[in-house]
Amino acid sequence: MNQNKAQTHSLVVGYLLWIVGFLGAHRFYYGKQLSGTVYFFTLGLLFIGWIVDLFLIPGMNEKADIRFHQGEIDYNITWLLLTFLGFFGVHRMYMGKWITGLIYLCTVGLFGFGYIYDLWTLNDQISLINGSKA
């Protein structure tokens, strides 16, 4: 891995999300929305893909570090907040999006659709915030 490039994603967080990865959590974390969605609907390709990913995570982590921008908002914290408290909007509040965070809190993540939207777009949302403050 290029030592000059700052790490945006963590192997530890990747493996923590892999534990619930049969629902695609680790794939969404690494910016692989299509395969994350497939994993969500197929239980990690009937758990076979999920087991294979145990060995693929280091490569996914390296590619994510190259693709996304480090800055004030930490990817790892935000993804953990989304994964475990996303329906309550805590990840949005952490990013400074207080209004939508409160809306998520009152509507259970906009009835789940906002949660799914954030699974698909969270890395890009963080990169935009981090890039605009650079």
The DSSP code sequence of 55-100 is HHHHHHHHHHHHHS--SSS-HHHHHHHHHHHGGGTHHHHHTT-HHH
Q: How far is the C-alpha of 119 from the C-alpha of 74, rounded, in Å?
A: 16
Tokens of 123: 């890395």
CA 119 to each of CA 25, 28, 35: distance values in angstroms, whole numbers, following the listed order: 8, 6, 12
Q: What is the pLDDT of residue 1?
A: 45
How many Cα neighbours within 13 Å face the side chain of 92? 22
pLDDT in tens, the chain (134 residues): 445 567 999 999 999 999 988 889 999 999 999 999 999 999 999 999 999 999 999 999 999 999 998 999 999 999 999 999 999 999 999 999 999 999 999 999 999 999 999 999 999 999 999 988 66
Tokens of 1: 């891995």
